[in-house]
Amino acid sequence: MSVQKKHGGELSDEEFRKFTLYCNQSNNYHDDTKRAEILGQTGEDVRIAPGAIVRIKGNQIGRKSYIGLYSYINGDIQIGENVLIGPHANIVGSNHVYNPVDDFFSGRSDEIAGKVIIEDGVWLTGGVTITPGCHVGKCALICANSVVTSDIPAYAIAAGTPAKLIGHIDPETGEYHWDSREEIHA
- Give the pLDDT of residue 16: 83
Whole-prediction pTM: 0.86
- Give the pLDDT of residue 3: 64
- Give the pLDDT of residue 15: 85
Each residue of 124-179: pLDDT tens digit? Answer: 999 999 999 999 999 999 999 999 999 999 999 999 999 999 999 999 999 999 99
Q: Would strands 129-130 and 47-48 be described as parallel, antiparallel, or unpaired?
A: unpaired
- Give the pLDDT of residue 18: 82
Q: Which CATH architecture has domain 10-184?
A: 3 Solenoid (2.160)
* Strand ranges (E), the chain: 47-48, 53-55, 66-67, 72-74, 77-79, 84-85, 90-92, 96-99, 104-108, 116-118, 123-124, 129-130, 135-136, 141-142, 147-148, 156-159, 164-169, 176-178
Q: Is the pLDDT of residue 34 over 70?
A: yes
- Give the pLDDT of residue 111: 62
